Amino acid sequence: MPVPVPVGVLRLPRGPEGSSRGFSPTSPRFQALLGEPVAAQGVRATLRERYLRGLGAARGRPTRFCLRAGVCVEAVFGAADVGAMAFQVDALRTPLGVQAAALLRCTDVLAYSFLLD
């Protein structure tokens, strides 16, 4: 059994008042973390729900993905993970050939569009 390697603990610097760690309570980032107005939360929830329903309806649809490398590829849309970090596709057609199944990282995808059948 391998010996686990110890990992250092990252400690945030002390705040301006000297007792807290992390963001200054007056910083915009800290204020944003406190929460947003209820109306804005409702709008964000509605937009997220529409996006997820759209991805669910796209399953099995032919899709074109434009990637960072300037390459456009086509595939059959399968699914997206919960955090939208990757797309699972089938029959990925690339300049080098066809892959039966693949994961496309969202950080590499600039745009995607669903093709008409």
Domain regions of the chain by residue span: 10-57, 59-114
CATH topology assigned to domain 59-114:
SH3 type barrels. (2.30.30)
Tokens found for residue 102: 């693949």
| Helix (H) / strand (E) containing 44 | helix 38-57
Regarding beta strands 86-94 and 62-67, do their DSSP bridges make them parallel or antiparallel, or are they unpaired? unpaired
* Cα distances (Å, whole numbers) of residue 115 to 18, 21, 63, 80, 83: 57, 50, 5, 18, 24
Amino acid, res. 1? M
In this prediction the pTM is 0.61
pLDDT score recorded for residue 83: 73
Task: Give me Rg for the CA atoms of the chain.
Answer: 21
Tens-digit pLDDT string for the chain (117 aa): 677 777 666 666 665 566 665 666 677 766 666 666 667 778 888 888 898 888 888 899 999 999 998 899 999 999 988 777 899 999 999 989 999 999 999 999 999 999 986
For the chain, the straight-line distance linking the first and the last C-alpha, in angstroms and rounded, comes to 54
